[in-house]
């Protein structure tokens, strides 16, 4: 079943603590969700390991958010079951699951101070009154907002409100923290800063993070592992490097970055644009380990960090070539649209793709 990952079995010689660590903390088995006859999630098997940053990645309508909502308890599966830390929680309400969820709108109480927002959940869980100030202080320290406990949410920036929402979630010390596109409302620079901050915090507190996003760069930057969703099912599960460098399907190849799909000798192959080098037409290529073809430059675009070339090969297939701008604008002066060039890529950077019929 696509999306299911097998965990190594524990042996008699494995210490109990190591065995517990090896067991997945979230398990989905045969999980399906229908809405009025429309399949939103189809027969999903998925394991999320204890302490990892795991991302559900996919376009809108692919089933990732529905999956997160079923784990949170906001939606009940049509079929299958969900376990959290070995306990079947399929029919439990959200408040009976040892998890917390952060949404894009943060949902902070505007009439409460930052510290009061954090303390609210602790009081609801009947944490001893004398413990609450220390727990709140520690959570604010973790998100680097120690000096902001007395402020109201309206006095904070978007990034600071995001940190408060995170602190409010982790102050309850949940087994799993669910994050549903929490950075979507932030501008690009702040979003990138928060990506690093979330990863730092996750490492520091060692709580399992289950993250939903449609942003490929965000998923690759932050995740220990990720699952790529498409039309209600998982196309591939793995670590970012494995999925990017060796996608199992054409959908994964195209959704995780940009890829060139070419057909050679009856096989469909994928090569990333940044793996391809441009060479002078008619000159021997110096590296015998590279595959070389000739073509014609059809377009050149300056994108800042790199230039993007569209090259039409001799058989009419167009490929994208990304060339880093390490020497100012001179890279654009090398060739012009209409000129013949060589394109070359390492033979070991090409990955076969399954036939579309499979």
* Closest residue by Cα to residue 167 from 105, 219, 108, 94: 108
Is 9 inside a domain boundary?
no
pLDDT in tens, 253-301: 999 989 999 988 888 899 999 999 988 887 777 777 889 999 999 999 9
Q: Are residues 201 and 315 in the same domain?
A: no
Q: Which of 252, 271, 289 is the last residue of a domain?
A: 252
Q: What are phi and psi of 304, to 5 degrees?
A: 100, -90
Query: Distance (Å, rounded) from C-alpha 298 to C-alpha 310?
Result: 5
Q: Are residues 223 and 106 in the same domain?
A: yes
Is 10 inside a domain boundary?
no
Query: Distance (Å, rounded) from C-alpha 109 to C-alpha 14?
Result: 47
Is 8 inside a domain boundary?
no
The tokens describing 251, both together, are 């959908």
Q: Are residues 100 and 25 in the same domain?
A: yes
Q: Are residues 248 and 287 in the same domain?
A: no
Q: Are residues 195 and 321 in the same domain?
A: no
Is 357 inside a domain boundary?
no
Q: Are residues 220 and 314 in the same domain?
A: no
Q: Are residues 216 and 338 in the same domain?
A: no
The residue segments making up the domain with residue 166 are 16-252
Burial of 215 (0-12, 13-18, 19+ CB in 10 A): middle
Q: Are residues 279 and 202 in the same domain?
A: no
Q: Which of 252, 271, 300 is the last residue of a domain?
A: 252
Range in 21-25, 185-189, 272-276 with the lowest mean pLDDT: 21-25
Is 2 inside a domain boundary?
no
pLDDT in tens, 295-339: 999 999 988 888 899 999 999 999 999 988 876 544 446 688 999
Instruction: Work out how many domains the chain is built from and give that number.
Output: 2
CATH of the domain at 168: 3.40.50.300
HSE at residue 244, side-chain half, CA atoms within 13 A, is 17
Burial of 37 (0-12, 13-18, 19+ CB in 10 A): exposed
CATH of the domain at 326: 2.40.50.140
Is 52 inside a domain boundary?
yes
Is residue 63 predicted with pLDDT exceeding 90?
Answer: yes
Q: Which of 225, 252, 279 is the last residue of a domain?
A: 252
Q: Are residues 104 and 224 in the same domain?
A: yes
Is 299 inside a domain boundary?
yes
Q: Are residues 192 and 279 in the same domain?
A: no
Give me the pLDDT at residue 264, please. 85
Is 257 inside a domain boundary?
no
Give me the pLDDT at residue 328, please. 57
Rg (CA), the chain: 24
Q: Are residues 63 and 150 in the same domain?
A: yes
pLDDT > 70: what percent of the chain?
90
The per-residue DSSP string of 295-313 comes to EEEEEEEE-SSEEEEEEEE
Q: Are residues 28 and 169 in the same domain?
A: yes
């Amino acid at each position: 079943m696509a999306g299911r990952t097998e965990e190594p079995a524990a042996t008699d010689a494995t210490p109990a603590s190591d065995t517990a660590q090896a067991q997945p903390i979230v398990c989905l088995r045969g999980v399906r969700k229908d809405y009025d006859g429309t399949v939103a999630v189809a027969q999903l098997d998925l394991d999320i390991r204890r302490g990892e940053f795991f991302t559900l990645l996919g376009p809108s309508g692919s089933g990732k958010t529905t999956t997160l909502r079923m784990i949170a308890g906001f939606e009940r599966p049509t079929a299958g079951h969900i376990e959290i830390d070995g306990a079947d929680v399929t029919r439990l309400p959200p408040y009976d699951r040892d998890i917390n969820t952060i949404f894009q709108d943060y949902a902070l109480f505007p009439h409460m101070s930052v510290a009061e927002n954090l303390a609210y959940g602790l009081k609801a869980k009947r944490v001893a009154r004398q413990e609450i100030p220390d727990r709140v202080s520690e959570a604010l320290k973790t998100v680097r907002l120690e000096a902001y406990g007395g402020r109201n949410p309206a006095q904070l920036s978007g990034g600071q409100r995001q940190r408060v929402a995170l602190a409010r979630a982790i102050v309850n010390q949940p087994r799993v923290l669910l994050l549903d596109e929490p950075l979507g409302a932030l501008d690009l620079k702040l979003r990138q800063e928060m990506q690093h901050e979330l990863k730092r915090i996750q490492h520091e507190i060692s709580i399992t993070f289950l993250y939903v996003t449609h942003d490929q760069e965000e998923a690759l930057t932050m995740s220990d592992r990720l699952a790529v969703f498409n039309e209600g099912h998982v196309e591939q599960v793995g670590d970012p490097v494995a999925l990017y460098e060796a996608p199992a399907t054409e959908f994964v190849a195209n959704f995780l970055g940009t890829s060139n799909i070419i057909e050679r000798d009856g096989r469909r192959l994928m090569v990333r644009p940044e793996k391809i080098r441009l060479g002078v037409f008619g000159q021997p290529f110096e590296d015998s380990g590279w595959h070389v073809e000739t073509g014609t430059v059809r377009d050149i675009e300056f994108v800042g960090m790199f230039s993007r070339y569209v090259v039409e090969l001799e058989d009419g297939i167009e490929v994208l070539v990304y060339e880093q701008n390490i020497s100012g604008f001179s890279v654009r002066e090398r060739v012009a649209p209409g000129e013949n060039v060589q394109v070359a890529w390492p033979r070991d950077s090409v990955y076969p793709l399954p036939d579309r019929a499979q």
